[in-house]
Structure 1
Amino acid sequence: MRAEVVDLFCGIGGLSAGFRNEGFRVRAGFDSDKSCRFAYEHNIGAKFVPSDVAAIKPEAITKLYSKKAWRILIGCAPCQPFSIYTGRYRRTPKPEGHDARWQLLEDFARIIEAVRPDVVSMENVPRVVLHPVFVQFVERLKAAGYAVSFHKVRAEHYGVPQRRARLVLFASLHGEVALAPPTHRGRPRTVRDAIGTMPAISAGEAHVQDRVHMSRNLTDKNLRRLRATSEGGSWREWAPDLVLDCHKKDGGHSFRSVYGRMTWDEPSPVITTQCLGIGNGRFGHPEQDRAISIREAALLQSFPPDFEFVDPEEDVVGVRLARQIGNAVPVRLAEAVARSIRAHLAALPTTKSRRSPQTRGGAARSDVTDY
């Protein structure tokens, strides 16, 4: 029996791409950012629905699934409220005027309770578990009859050429979902593996054959700073006249990675929404005097090299693409999530109907072959 996927908070489609690559049929993606439509529909081949999650009516999702298909609902709620990288993070939100994005998990739970998909998966930052909103989310799913499990995973253990810790949650009406085993624990993919063959470009230049292989321009002083930085190095190597005032203060010594270069034979640091600027992290190219390009950021997020991010009729807006790529679920990590769900469905007994809750185990399901 076929398994069909609907993706909430889909963005440009990193999570959907992973499920598509693993043979699942992706029916649609929902996201409030309309600028993601081209990338999602062009690459995923599924409908993009521009909608804030709070405005989504459950019946709009239910009607997307075929009558006899396994229903899979996936999502990656924007993680900024929960992330260690934002100063607005709090263990408990302010009672008044707090970031409205705290509401996203509550809206996700509301939709799950009404649609009752067979399996749910959510990806987020590990620190989300510290927040009461997450605890309430899990309790609501359990009360609705779901077996819930969540795991802290390392993206580099699943073939993503990037050191990135994420939380993956599974919930199923048919028993606990086991996480697929790591594929790259011994020898992770590296920066060289991902971008080592990319054509050389200069700061502020786009490659003639790939306009997304574009690097942000640098001021003369920042160019001098980068030239004074070795592979894997940082601002600590600079002459005193190049060091920023903030780094000369006692607290500035903790910012070791800013203005740094990546290392060829290691995974990259976390690709963030600010990954095109050398002042925002270790985003300098290992040897060329520039920050990584948009295309290189996407490759480090394990998007395929032919993924098209921009309509040919539109201009490339680096800030927007960096935000979309940095917010995306790495595709290879998404593939691991999809494999976990595929194995879970394949292990369900053939004697039970799709819609009746059950525990895992029993005979292998011979008709669960077309995902």
Structure 2
Amino acid sequence: MSAASLKQNNLTKRKVYAVDLFCGAGGLTHGLERAGIDVRLGVDIDPACSYPYSSNNNAKFELKSVEDLRADEVRKAFRKHGINLLAGCAPCQTFSTYNRKASQDDERWWLLLQFSRLVRETAPELVTMENVPSLINQNVFKSFVEELEQANYHVTYQIVNCADYGLPQHRKRLVLLASKLGSINLLQPHEIGVNSQTVREAIADLPPLQAGEANEADPLHQSSSLSPTNMDRIKASRPGGTWRDWEEQLVAECHKKGSGKTYQSVYGRMSWDEPAPTMTTQFFGFGNGRFGHPEQDRAISLREGAILQSFPREYKFVPPGEPIAIKTIGRLIGNAVPVKLGEVIGLSIRVHLAQHENYLKEQRRRKFGSSHRNLSRRGEP
């Protein structure tokens, strides 16, 4: 079944209202909106998120720590008689496999408990959470799930590779869905009818760039400069290869040591006909991973990274005419929930609601039938 036929035949027409916690630049919100969910509010502590979030989405942006967010602020964004969704991705760096200094002393470790607090205090019908796979083994995640179940949510979670859902990037993520209405599951790739996408299909038609150059028509299509040594290294690199392909004088001293010989995923070029590697917050640097352009002698641009995260090409990250801080925008893009994954989550929720339509009708009948009877007893129409 194609995504188009899925949207036409299998989705509820009921309006779903959402609040996106830890919303970042708006990847999850944009995907949910594409699936027909009305995201009313996005909350993040990072001021750099304000412009991209507000400029590309219909939701209001609130610059605030989720720790300081009150339940009444969330309820104000919800609709009293609607189907409400609390969504979000708590900052994942502390749980990431890239973070070898992860510690419960990191305050971000406990932000998932703030998410749990707001679920408890606002009692939405639906909850979704996306994060790095390694979170699944942490007690804080197990506590999150247990609290949802104790509050009578039906909970499912799984680790998915976003490439299976048509993202031009290998990106494994933990996705949780919870509902008070009944069992809920993430749609499988075959249910949506998606096709895999390669780096070539995603970015090959963008204008060529030199290292350190920006495209005049799209300033976000800019790449970092390269030192003379790194220029020699990228010229010696082949798509899908490693630094082991280089001549001895180009190999970094740290990689010549025994402890560095296993780090083959740095200083590499992407392959045209495969999905990209996982976009990190440092994807704009050639030496930070396999982020070399498959053909041009440079690292991929900010716009290319955003496209590989499935942001639309017209997605705005910086006000027109303002300078682009590469590290800041790279961080926003690398941290984002891929838009395509957000859309899959949204479609899964709307299919779930369609499957429980009778339950929703009965709940509505009881709610409004009871209100009508109470008014009639008081002699009101």
> What's the TM-score, normalizing by structure 1?
0.92
1:221 aligns with 2:234: no
* 1:95-139 Cα distance to aligned partner (Å, 9 max, x none): xxx000111011000000010011000000111011110111111
| Contact 1:191–1:263, Cα closer than 8 Å, also in 2 | yes
2:109 is matched with which residue?
102
Equivalent in 64, 74, 83 of residue 51 of structure 1: 64
1:352 aligns with 2:362: yes
2:371 is matched with which residue?
none
Equivalent in 91, 116, 127 of residue 134 of structure 2: 127
| Contact 2:166–2:194, Cα closer than 8 Å, also in 1 | no
1:364 is matched with which residue?
none
1:37 aligns with 2:77: no
Equivalent in 323, 326, 335 of residue 327 of structure 1: 335
Partners of 1:23 and 1:355 in 2: CA distance: 24
Partners of 2:29 and 2:361 in 1: CA distance: 30
Partners of 2:365 and 2:62 in 1: CA distance: 26
Are the structure 2 counterparts of residues 355 and 242 from structure 1 closer, same or farther at C-alpha, using a change threshold of 3 Å? Answer: farther
How many residue pairs end up in the alignment?
351
The residue type equivalent to 1:211 in the other structure is: P
1:362 is matched with which residue?
none
2:315 is matched with which residue?
307
Question: In proportion to residue count, which structure has more helix?
Answer: 2
The residue type equivalent to 2:38 in the other structure is: R
Partners of 2:160 and 2:182 in 1: CA distance: 21
Residue range with higher mean Cα deviation, 169-178 or 205-214: 169-178
The runs of at least 4 aligned residues of structure 1 exceeding 6 Å deviation read none
Question: Matched residue of 2:43: which SS?
Answer: strand
2:372 is matched with which residue?
none
Larger Rg: 2
Partners of 1:118 and 1:355 in 2: CA distance: 17
Equivalent in 112, 120, 124 of residue 113 of structure 1: 120
The residue type equivalent to 2:318 in the other structure is: V
1:146 aligns with 2:153: yes
Displacement after TM superposition at 1:313 (Å): 4.2
- The aligned runs of 1:196-211 (5 Å cut-off) are 196-211=204-219
Equivalent in 179, 188, 204 of residue 181 of structure 1: 188
Partners of 2:44 and 2:230 in 1: CA distance: 36
Computed over aligned residues only, the root mean square deviation of the Cα atoms, in angstroms, reads: 1.6
Equivalent in 253, 264, 284 of residue 261 of structure 2: 253
Displacement after TM superposition at 1:354 (Å): 5.5
* 1:268-316 Cα distance to aligned partner (Å, 9 max, x none): 0000001011111000000100000000000000111110111114210
Equivalent in 86, 92, 104 of residue 79 of structure 1: 92
2:283 is matched with which residue?
275
The residue type equivalent to 2:234 in the other structure is: L
1:241 is matched with which residue?
249
Displacement after TM superposition at 1:351 (Å): 3.6
Displacement after TM superposition at 1:45 (Å): 2.0
The residue type equivalent to 1:24 in the other structure is: I
Are the structure 2 counterparts of residues 354 and 333 from structure 1 closer, same or farther at C-alpha, using a change threshold of 3 Å? Answer: farther
| Contact 2:166–2:195, Cα closer than 8 Å, also in 1 | no
Percent identity for Structure 1 against Structure 2:
46
The residue type equivalent to 1:25 in the other structure is: D
2:8 is matched with which residue?
none
Displacement after TM superposition at 1:185 (Å): 8.7
1:232 is matched with which residue?
240
| Contact 2:165–2:195, Cα closer than 8 Å, also in 1 | no
1:89 is matched with which residue?
102
The residue type equivalent to 2:18 in the other structure is: V
1:18 aligns with 2:28: no
Are the structure 2 counterparts of residues 355 and 300 from structure 1 closer, same or farther at C-alpha, using a change threshold of 3 Å? Answer: farther
Partners of 2:214 and 2:100 in 1: CA distance: 34
Displacement after TM superposition at 1:252 (Å): 1.3
The residue type equivalent to 1:316 in the other structure is: I
> What's the TM-score, normalizing by structure 2?
0.89
Residue range with higher mean Cα deviation, 158-167 or 233-242: 233-242
Question: Matched residue of 2:160: which SS?
Answer: strand
1:156 aligns with 2:163: yes
The residue type equivalent to 1:231 in the other structure is: P
Displacement after TM superposition at 1:188 (Å): 1.6
